[in-house]
Amino acid sequence: MTEATETFVDNAAWAALDGKGATPRLSVLIPTYRDDPSALLKALDERGVDAEIVLLDDGGGDADLTRRMAARLEKLKLPARLIVLSPNEGRAKGRNRLAKHARGRHLLFLDSDMLPDPKDFLTRWAAVAADDVAVAFGGFTLDQTPRRPEHELHRSMALKSDCTPAPERAREPEKHVFTSNLLVRRDVFETIGFDEGFAGWGWEDVEWAMRVVRFHPILHIDNSATHLGLDTASALAAKYEQSAANFARVVAGHREVVSAYPSYKAAKALKVAPLRGVWRPGLKAFALNEAAPTPLRAFALRLYRAALYSDAV
C-alpha cells in the first residue's frame, strides 16, 4: 500500500499561536474530498472563540480547489491549518489523522458540507467544551438546504430518521451519533479512535459510539448544523450498496446492540424471503423512479437497504 504524504498550509494566526506556545480549547476538524468548504469556514470564523480549524484535503487531487481552500484559510481570524494528503485515505483514517494535528483539549468533527444553524454555533460548542464533557452530538437539520427535485427522496428519508431533536436522540445515544457535528474530548479519542477497518461510506461513526458509550456518557444537545450535501436517489442507493460490508462489520462486533435496530430487524425478516436476487433489483428500480410518490420510494429504498443487509444477519 502506498504511504500517504502530507503537505501543510498554515495561516498567520496558526503560526502566531505556535509562537506563543499556547493551545486552544477547541479544535474544529473538517475532512473534505472534492468539496469546497468555503461557506462553512466563513461561518465558523467567530470572534472571541478559543478555537482552531484543521482542514484535511483527503487526496482530492483538484489543485484549483486546494488553492481556493488555502486562500480562504489565509483570510480567517481563527488559527487554521490545511493538510493536503495524497492519496485518499478515507473517512475513518482521515479523521484519525486530523486528530493528530489538533492542539485543543476538545475535538469538534464537522463534515465539509455542513453549515451551522445558530450564528453563535462555535461559541456554544466552546461552552460545552468548557464543561469538560466527554462526548456530545449537536444534531443536524435540512433547514438551509435548497430544495431540488432530484434530492427529494434523500430529504424525505433524512427528515424521518436523522433530523431528530436532542431528547429523542438521547433515548438511543450511540445510534444517533454522526461525525457531521460531533464533540469529543481528546483523552477519549486517544483511547477510542475510529476503526480504520471500515472502508467507504457508512456505520464507522455509529460503531465508534457503540464502543465509547461503554465507558463514557454521550450527551445530546440542540446545536445543529444543516446538511447541504443531499444525494440523488441513485447516489444514495450506491452508498447503501457500499455500506453493506460495513454493516456486516458492525454486526460481527456488536450484534447485541445492533439487533435492536429497525434496520437489523428488517434485514433479519428479509433473510428468509425467497428469490431475493429476483425482487431486490425491483425495489431499487422503484425507488429510483422519480414519477412514483416519494413516501413509497422511500419505503422501497429502505427495503432495498434491508435486503442488502440481510446477508450480514
Residue 176 confidence class, pLDDT cut points 50, 70, 90 = very high
Instruction: Tell me what pLDDT residue 58 has.
Output: 79
Q: pLDDT over 70 for what percent of the chain?
A: 99
Helix H or strand E encompassing 75: helix 63-75
28-37, 61-70, 119-128 — most confident range = 119-128
Q: Which cell numbers hold the place of 50?
A: 478559543
Q: What is the pLDDT of residues 138-154, one digit of tens each?
A: 999 999 999 999 999 99
Average pLDDT of the residues in 164-192:
95
Q: In the chain, what are the domains?
A: 5-230 (3.90.550.10), 234-312 (no CATH)
Mean of pLDDT over the chain: 92
Instruction: Tell me what pLDDT residue 23 has.
Output: 87
Q: The pTM is what?
A: 0.92
Instruction: Tell me what pLDDT residue 184 has.
Output: 97
Q: What is the pLDDT of residues 76-107, one digit of tens each?
A: 999 999 999 887 777 788 888 899 999 999 99
Q: Which residue has the cell 460503531?
A: 207
Q: What is the pLDDT of residues 155-168, one digit of tens each?
A: 999 999 899 999 99
Q: What is the pLDDT of residues 296-308, one digit of tens each?
A: 999 999 999 999 9
Average pLDDT of the residues in 44-60:
89
Residue among 10, 11, 9, 8 at smallest CA distance from 76:
11
Asked if residue 60 has pLDDT above 80, the reply is no
Average pLDDT of the residues in 256-283:
91
Instruction: Tell me what pLDDT residue 218 has.
Output: 97
Question: Which residues are within 8 A (CB) of 17 and not within 5 positions of it... i.e. 6 or more apart?
Answer: 23, 24, 52, 79, 103
- Identity of residue 206: V
Average pLDDT of the residues in 198-210:
89
Number of H helices, E strands in the chain: 13, 11
Lowest-confidence region among 61-75, 146-160, 210-224, 294-308: 61-75
In contact, 225 and 138? CB cutoff 8 Å: yes
**Cross-strand pairs, 54:** 29, 81
Q: Which cell numbers hold the place of 144?
A: 438551509
Average pLDDT of the residues in 115-125:
96
Instruction: Tell me what pLDDT residue 133 has.
Output: 97
Asked if residue 313 has pLDDT above 90, the reply is no
Instruction: Tell me what pLDDT residue 1 has.
Output: 52
Instruction: Tell me what pLDDT residue 79 has.
Output: 94
Q: What is the pLDDT of residues 241-267, one digit of tens each?
A: 999 999 999 999 999 999 999 999 999
3-class DSSP state of 15: helix
Residue 310 has what DSSP assignment? G
The DSSP annotation for 258-308 comes to: HTTSHHHHHHHHHHT-S-HHHHHHHHHHHHT-TTS-HHHHHHHHHHHHHHH
Asked if residue 3 has pLDDT above 80, the reply is no
Instruction: Tell me what pLDDT residue 73 has.
Output: 92
Asked if residue 35 has pLDDT above 90, the reply is no
